[in-house]
């Protein structure tokens, strides 16, 4: 069974969905770069170890050095990003080439970067996607592994759309990882 680390910075609903799914792996640790992130409470509740490395307290180089030390200490083989709001340097990505996976709420290559759902919604898109992809040194530019969509109805609010997107993410991410693992 592979050793995984999940990286998250915020709410952590995808972290929880993965932690509670029946994946054929060891989720060794949650790595979080924000000390007040709600995802830490989720890790405590589920009983998964967590490490907080506050990115704002380090230079990018020192931050990534600390992260690499942790990944080595936990013998991590696959890095799963789930709402992790930091971009890795190309040195870091090269070191873990094809071993970093992310989930992004759009039909990539559309709407890379921040506020993807808001942008698709305000463009009146009738289909909004969720993509699982390998991470390269760009923002949401790596090879797409899987993509599924939700339908937006005329009376859906942005909140309704977010709910649909999250529900899809919580089933798609475990499904894709199960396949990879």
Contact (Cβ atoms closer than 8 angstroms) between residue 55 and residue 24: no
What is the C-alpha separation between 180 and 157, in angstroms, rounded? 34
Contact (Cβ atoms closer than 8 angstroms) between residue 100 and residue 88: yes
**Binder to ligand GRF among 4, 5, 6, 12 (CB under 6 A)?**
12
What is the number of the residue whose Cβ is closest to ligand GRF? 83
Cβ-Cβ contacts under 8 Å for 139 (sequence gap 6 or more): 87, 112, 113
170 in active site: no
33 binds ligand GRF (CB under 6 A): no
Smallest separation, CB 72 to ligand GRF (Å): 25
Strand, helix or coil for residue 47: coil
13 binds ligand GRF (CB under 6 A): yes
110 binds ligand GRF (CB under 6 A): no
Positions marked catalytic = 104
Binding site for ligand GRF (CB under 6 A): 8, 10-15, 82-83, 103-105, 169
């Amino acid at each position: 069974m592979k050793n995984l680390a999940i990286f998250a910075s915020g709410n952590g609903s995808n972290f929880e969905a993965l932690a509670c799914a029946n994946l054929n792996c060891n989720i060794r640790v949650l790595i979080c770069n924000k000390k007040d992130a709600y995802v830490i409470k989720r890790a405590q509740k589920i009983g998964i170890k967590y490490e907080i490395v506050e990115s704002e307290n380090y230079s990018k180089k020192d931050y990534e050095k600390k992260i690499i030390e942790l990944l080595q200490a936990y013998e991590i083989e696959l890095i799963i990003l789930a709402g992790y709001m930091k971009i890795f340097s190309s040195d870091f990505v090269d070191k873990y080439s094809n071993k970093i996976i992310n989930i992004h709420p759009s039909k990539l290559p559309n709407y890379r970067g921040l506020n993807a759902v808001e942008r698709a919604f305000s463009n009146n898109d009738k289909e909004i996607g969720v993509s699982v992809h390998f991470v390269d040194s760009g923002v949401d530019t790596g090879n797409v592994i899987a993509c599924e969509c939700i339908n937006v109805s005329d009376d859906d609010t942005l909140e309704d759309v977010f709910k649909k997107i999250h529900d899809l993410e919580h089933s798609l991410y475990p499904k894709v990882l199960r396949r990879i693992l």
